[in-house]
Structure 1
Amino acid sequence: MRLSFVFIFLCFTIAWAQETTALICGNLITAKDTHVQADAVILIKGDRIVEVGTMDLLKAGYTVIDLSEYTVLPGMIDAHTHPLIYGSEYQTNHLKGSSAFNALRGLKTVQEWLEAGWTTIRIAGDADTKYAHFEIRNAINAGLFKGPRIFGAGHYISVTGGGGDINYISNEQSVIPDGLIVDGKDEMRKAIRQEIKNGSDWIKLLVTGAFMSTGDNPRNVHFSDEELKTAVEEAGQRDVPVMMHAHAKEGIVKAIKFGARSIEHGTFLDAETIDLFLEYDTYLVPTLTVGTYFRLKDPGNVALTKTQRSQKEFREARMKVLGEAHKRGVKLGIGSDNVGFPGNFAANEFHEFVKFGMTPMEAIIAGTKVNAELLKMDDSIGTIEVGKYADIIATKKNPLEDITELQRVQFVMKGGEIIKSTE
């Protein structure tokens, strides 16, 4: 009887060892705090982290991944993306292919982003007449394809003539815009229900005009108070948070007061609006990299020239006020507003955060722990801790010494599965 017990115990121990992966880390940034641990070990079983500690954790039989020459940290989280958008004519590109084709194109895009180290993304509405990006999400979740964890909104909801509408085609023509167009509280209520029915776990509202669109002004507020109130109430009944695109100060103020969980862009932020962010505990996702991208290349059309112009006119003042927002404790999240640029370039957002005053560690936490909290997923992702998904990346050089190293991620693991190896 005793021998049988010992045999069973040994079999169990061997099985545990065979199913356990040990990551040896040269430097470990868990992102749960600012501590950096040298010569650390992460034990992974299945898709979860089961132990984090010293080299003493290593046991015979473990599958060992040697990252002792690397800095290891949580997978990056991009809180503002548009994987279906591509090219300079993005407001009509969605009409050039079917929703199925858009999904295939988008799948390739998010797979490239995962390879670059983005293990989780939030989609801030996307360019499709249907819901192609949710088909991508569902296929990834079903295990049919590899890809990042995906959360987000179906469409960016806009008023007639707003940033989500197509405002440069003859009124004799009937086309489906990339945004969802609503006017009045009844249409708003129906739109929110439709978005949630079709898979949205976030709602996205264009409260003001946009820079990357034709025929609207980012300094104008578009939705009425009644429409905004209806949107937040309806989404709240389903426990779905609302992100609100807002450039103009008045739009930022309205969005915060009516209950946005996050403000996207916030271009004309000032001291008064900083007070509101703190009072209402609202997140800000400033999306700086998209402007940098178009500043470095020819926009190719009139609409995107607005973005390029905004970089020249508003960047200096904007970076200054973002530095003040950070000093005062506003919760700032990393979001690249990726509209078709490479995933490694999207990590430039960390560099932008350092430019306005964050330390490299603070920027890393903004793109991991803070974004996980924004998504209400901090029990599962965002830090390297026991019980969380093994979403882990590694860089050859230390990003605390050069934050641009996050644009050169060498190792990617999502849910315990190696996506990109150093070998």
Structure 2
Amino acid sequence: MKRLTLLLLCSVITSAFAAPKVITADRMIDVENGKLIKNAVVVVDGNRIQAAGVQGRITIPEDAERVDLGDATLMPGLMDMHVHLTSDATKHGYKRLSVSLPRAAITGVKHAEDTLMAGFTTVRNVGAPGFADVALRDAINAGDVAGPRMFVAGPSLGVTGGHCDSNLLPYEYEQYSEGVADGPWEVRKAVRRNIKYGATVIKFCATGGVLSKGTKVGAQQYTLEEMEALVAEAHLRGLTVATHAHGTSGIKDAIRAGVDSVEHVSLLDDEAITLALENGTYFSMDIYVTEYILGEGEKAGILEESLNKERIVGKRQRENFEKAVKAGVKMVFGSDAGVYPHGDNGKQFARMVKFGMTPIQAIQAATIHPATLLKQQETLGSLSEGKFADMVAVPGNPLEDMQKMEDIRFVMKDGQIVKTLAM
């Protein structure tokens, strides 16, 4: 960690004077066109991509530093649109009451590096208490710690007693989550507060959830009127909006209210799919996490109530993932890392293919589609001229074996190589 942090700090100072880098590999994935390019080369100047294409057709600067990855596949830095970097997968339920805000923030530093080393150079952190994710993002941007680019939500917004509230303690403790807001004007105020303290996306809970005590996973919580006010306020300020929604009515009202992405989307119906297609809404469906919850969750402190909810929801979610993919709904990669261990994000790729996606669709869901969702497609999401030099490589060809996405050997973020292992 100390070595990597020092490397990143030095890179900030020396990047303006560094020689161009030339990265070559046997293959490269063109995510914008859905093609595999053989004999690939990417030229990096500073923190931007100068050129990318086929070797022999790209002009190589004479003074360039060359990195030949051999039998490997290059692709853009991966993007996970649903993480909780300050959450610890080994502490769920009542165990989380023992974690202080400073401790969560410090833990987030480790998780940020784990995520970057797994090849995820950009994440959307959809909920953290005390704006700890804002502090972590700022520390990464300053070069103080290693981690991915972060788009952060601060505290998730939700109704009193809902999934985004804290429901573990009895009445006399008077405990509420800081994101609780009821009524159209209160939710507007909450959005404004989150923006004031550094949020760059807004996340709210439209329905109950699996891991919250006392909520029905399919029950709608915010009304359509409240959702419309919340989304309008966020969009007025230029921020995108993500909503936690398992239940059918909550999914549909969130789409009607204009959210940019719906998370989990477990209990959708045909009308929800039609609404998503008509509105261009993205789905972010965490179809790997059920394996961790049901396999390791009890040991980590997940309540029996929550385990029972996951037993019901997990299978339905995977069936509906396949249904949504077949219908052509826009999809982004969202793992819910923090519920399960950070750094294991890539395990979801194989499940996305198992449950209906082609390999190239799964990779696009973690590259160009998140960039478009975040309105960052001019600078992120593909290996194209002028974009930030974020890229990863795996041995062999992941389009033939998606489990290779769990074995990232090369990571470059912002033009700096932060991981390189033998292919």
Give the TM-score normalised by the residue count of structure 2.
0.90
| Contact 1:20–1:63 under 8 Å retained in 2 | yes
| Contact 1:284–1:333 under 8 Å retained in 2 | yes
| Contact 1:78–1:335 under 8 Å retained in 2 | yes
| Contact 1:17–1:61 under 8 Å retained in 2 | no
* Partner-residue secondary structure (3-state), 1:393: strand
Aligned residue type for 2:284:
V
Deviations 1:95-122 (A, max 9, x none): 5454333222101111111011010000
* Partner-residue secondary structure (3-state), 1:211: coil
Report the more deviating stretch, 335-344 or 140-149. Answer: 335-344
* Distance in 2, Cα, partners of 1:202 & 1:59: 39
* Distance in 2, Cα, partners of 1:131 & 1:263: 22
Partner of 2:365: 366
| Contact 2:123–2:148 under 8 Å retained in 1 | yes
- 5+ residue gaps in structure 1? 1-15
| Contact 1:43–1:51 under 8 Å retained in 2 | yes
1:382-397 matched pairs, under 5 angstroms: 382-397=381-396
Aligned residue type for 1:355:
K
Aligned residue type for 2:374:
L
* Distance in 2, Cα, partners of 1:342 & 1:135: 21
| Contact 1:74–1:391 under 8 Å retained in 2 | yes
* Partner-residue secondary structure (3-state), 1:156: coil
Partner of 1:99: 101
Residue 91 of structure 1 and its aligned partner are, at CA, apart by 5.4
Partner of 1:236: 235
Of residues 84, 87, 112, the one that matches 1:85 is 87
Partner of 2:126: 124
| Contact 1:393–1:413 under 8 Å retained in 2 | yes
Partner of 2:72: 70
Residue 17 of structure 1 and its aligned partner are, at CA, apart by 11
* Distance in 2, Cα, partners of 1:152 & 1:345: 20
Shift in alpha-carbon separation, 1:142–1:357, aligned structure 2, 3 A = same
Shift in alpha-carbon separation, 1:307–1:42, aligned structure 2, 3 A = farther
* Partner-residue secondary structure (3-state), 2:171: coil
Residue 397 of structure 1 and its aligned partner are, at CA, apart by 2.4
Shift in alpha-carbon separation, 1:87–1:330, aligned structure 2, 3 A = closer
Q: Which runs of 4+ in 1 moved over 6 A?
A: none
Shift in alpha-carbon separation, 1:377–1:94, aligned structure 2, 3 A = farther
Of residues 103, 113, 116, the one that matches 1:114 is 116
* Partner-residue secondary structure (3-state), 2:71: strand
Partner of 1:138: 138
Shift in alpha-carbon separation, 1:59–1:187, aligned structure 2, 3 A = closer
* Distance in 2, Cα, partners of 1:422 & 1:88: 29
1:146-185 matched pairs, under 5 angstroms: 146-177=146-177, 180-185=179-184
* Partner-residue secondary structure (3-state), 1:180: coil
* Distance in 2, Cα, partners of 1:18 & 1:172: 60
Partner of 1:52: 52
Identity fraction in percent: 34
| Contact 1:88–1:304 under 8 Å retained in 2 | no
1:250-265 matched pairs, under 5 angstroms: 250-265=249-264
Aligned residue type for 1:107:
V
Partner of 1:267: 266
Q: Larger radius of gyration, structure 1 or 2? A: 1
| Contact 1:212–1:307 under 8 Å retained in 2 | yes
Deviations 1:220-253 (A, max 9, x none): 1111222212111211221112111111100011
Partner of 1:417: 416
* Distance in 2, Cα, partners of 1:266 & 1:46: 40
- 5+ residue gaps in structure 2? 1-15
Partner of 2:217: 218
Report the more deviating stretch, 316-325 or 148-157. Answer: 316-325
* Distance in 2, Cα, partners of 1:17 & 1:58: 18
Residue 417 of structure 1 and its aligned partner are, at CA, apart by 0.6
| Contact 2:350–2:403 under 8 Å retained in 1 | yes
Partner of 1:245: 244
Aligned residues: 406
Give the TM-score normalised by the residue count of structure 1.
0.90
* Partner-residue secondary structure (3-state), 1:172: helix
| Contact 2:162–2:208 under 8 Å retained in 1 | yes
